[in-house]
Copies of this chain bind each other. A is one copy, B any other.
């Protein structure tokens, strides 16, 4: 019997990662809803999240979290940030004393400003914690298009084990010891994607988008460095790679929100019309809180937060960003 992996959360990204790993190891996927469990086990599809994709036959789903976790040698958490702690607390009841846990989730906990790996460390002390991040457009990766990501873990041996377990010929994994940087990249990129979408919705082209996203990367890097991250992480797959894929793709809900804001719709109307809230709408305020606490200047995130809480129009936000005074590139 080989390694057994459990992926917790059957959204588009959790299902995609479970489908990749199922080629390398016995893999189970936890879904909350029994109808989705049945669909995955009998039809090998997840039509709500990944229309037209076929999942591996060997991938087995279940709603019995305790049983899946008790049998798992490796656990991967793919739960949205705001529900993350509740599910992680249930995982903690059954997980082995030294079982590695990988976070696939990109967000911060609203009330505590904690990163997902910090939540895992608090609830499951003693287990090695890792983060998988990078340009993660689920549909393209599940379709077998070439991609690469980062597996971040403070323990090098665990990182190498997870790298082998989660890699596929079309999904290359690079190790990086910088857990904080990889997580901050995943959080801030959703905020920057809203700003980039606003510029696009306004009718600005690739040059303005590239400028804005690059300045967004600079403020993402400032925040990360203030938290102890390696600045080079942000030039890598979990920084630039993720932000570039997100901002280029209308598959991203955050980009969609930005484009609609740029075209003049109100944030209230946009949020009311979407099934799932785009992560960046909520996390912009959390990022700004964190930046203030650490004394880091994040002008783009601040403007996005104001647009998302309805106190500033998208047009005024763009204007404010362009009127800042000239300075050196890396202060």
Q: Of the candidates B174, B232, B236, B321, which one forms a contact with A326 in the assembled complex, judged by CB atoms under 8 Å apart? A: B174
A176–B330 CA distance with the chains assembled, in angstroms: 8
A329 within 8 Å of B (CB atoms): yes
> Chain B residues near A207 (CB, 8 Å)?
135-137, 140-141, 145, 147, 245, 249
Q: Which of A202-234 contact B (CB under 8 A)?
A: 204-215, 217-218, 221, 231-234
A18–B29 CA distance with the chains assembled, in angstroms: 59
> Chain B residues near A245 (CB, 8 Å)?
206-207, 209-211
Q: Of the candidates B145, B235, B249, which one forms a contact with A218 in the assembled complex, judged by CB atoms under 8 Å apart? A: B235
Q: Of the candidates B204, B213, B234, B318, which one forms a contact with A244 in the assembled complex, judged by CB atoms under 8 Å apart? A: B213
A318–B135 CA distance with the chains assembled, in angstroms: 18
Give A250's nearest chain B residue, CB to CB: B206
B240 A214 Cβ-Cβ under 8 A: yes
B208 A329 Cβ-Cβ under 8 A: no
> Chain B residues near A234 (CB, 8 Å)?
235
Q: Which of A147-201 contact B (CB under 8 A)?
A: 147-148, 150, 163-164, 167, 169-170, 172-176, 199
Q: How large, as a class, is the contact surface on chain A?
A: 35 or more
User: Chain B nearest CB: distance from A63 CB in Å?
Assistant: 30
> Chain B residues near A237 (CB, 8 Å)?
211, 214-215, 329
Q: A176-B330, A234-B235, A248-B248 are in contact. Are A208 and B322 (CB under 8 A)?
A: no
Q: Of the candidates B233, B248, B251, which one forms a contact with A210 in the assembled complex, judged by CB atoms under 8 Å apart? A: B248
A210 B328 Cβ-Cβ under 8 A: no
A241 within 8 Å of B (CB atoms): yes
> Chain B residues near A214 (CB, 8 Å)?
135, 148, 235-237, 240-241, 244
A145 B217 Cβ-Cβ under 8 A: no
17 A-B pairs whose Cβ atoms sit less than 8 Å apart in the complex: A135-B207, A137-B206, A146-B199, A147-B208, A148-B215, A150-B329, A175-B327, A207-B245, A209-B245, A213-B241, A217-B240, A218-B236, A231-B235, A234-B235, A235-B235, A235-B239, A240-B240
> Chain B residues near A176 (CB, 8 Å)?
328-330
> Chain B residues near A173 (CB, 8 Å)?
326
A279 within 8 Å of B (CB atoms): no
